[in-house]
């Protein structure tokens, strides 16, 4: 079946450095790729998403890149801050205009930003 792999599973960076998390997906029909941030004991929250017709998207310190040919996408966080410490989940979804297909989540990356 379809799956999403995510690497690394844990990541520690110094405050101010960049962090990169990579995901690969198997379903070539996937066309929507959201990223969620989940702080300890809290709900997942959407932080950025990208559609398959776009190669890159940026929102302040966060950017996502997508390589459809290779079926992988990455989250880039620049100038990391301690409040960026959380578990980050990628997901791959087939999103049509009026329907969803089954979204598959990656296993998560635990990011620690060391002050």
Partner 1 sequence: DAGVIQSPRHEVTEMGQEVTLRCKPISGHDYLFWYRQTMMRGLELLIYFNNNVPIDDSGMPEDRFSAKMPNASFSTLKIQPSEPRDSAVYFCASSLAQWRRSAFFGQGTRLTVV
- Least distance (Å) between residue 14 CB and partner 1: 27
Residue closer to partner 1 by CB (options 63, 80) is 63
* The binder of partner 1 chosen from 3, 12, 28, 45 (CB under 8 A): 45
Q: Nearest to residue 17, comparing CAs of 109, 73, 62, 81?
A: 81
The binding track of 92-111 with respect to partner 1, each residue x by CB under 8 A or -, is -x-x-xxxxxxx-xxxx---
d(CA 22, CA 59): 18
What is the Cα gyration radius of the chain? 14
* Cα–Cα distances in angstroms (integers) from residue 67 to residues 28, 44, 53, 64, 84, in the given order: 11, 25, 10, 10, 25
Q: Near partner 1 by CB under 8 A, which window of 19-27, 61-69, 72-80, 87-95? A: 87-95
Applying CB under 8 A, the residues found at the interface with partner 1 are 32, 34, 36, 42-46, 49, 51, 89, 91, 93, 95, 97-103, 105-108
């Amino acid at each position: 079946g379809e799956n999403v792999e995510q690497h690394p599973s844990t990541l520690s960076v110094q405050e101010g450095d960049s962090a990169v998390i990579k995901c690969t997906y198997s379903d070539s029909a996937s066309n929507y790729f959201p990223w969620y941030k989940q702080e300890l004991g809290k709900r997942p929250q959407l932080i950025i998403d990208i559609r398959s017709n776009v190669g890159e998207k940026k929102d302040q310190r966060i950017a996502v890149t997508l390589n459809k040919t290779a079926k992988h996408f990455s989250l880039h966080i620049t100038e990391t801050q301690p409040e960026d410490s959380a578990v980050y989940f990628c997901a791959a979804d087939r999103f049509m205009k009026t329907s969803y297909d089954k979204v598959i989540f990656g296993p998560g990356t635990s990011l620690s930003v060391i002050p």
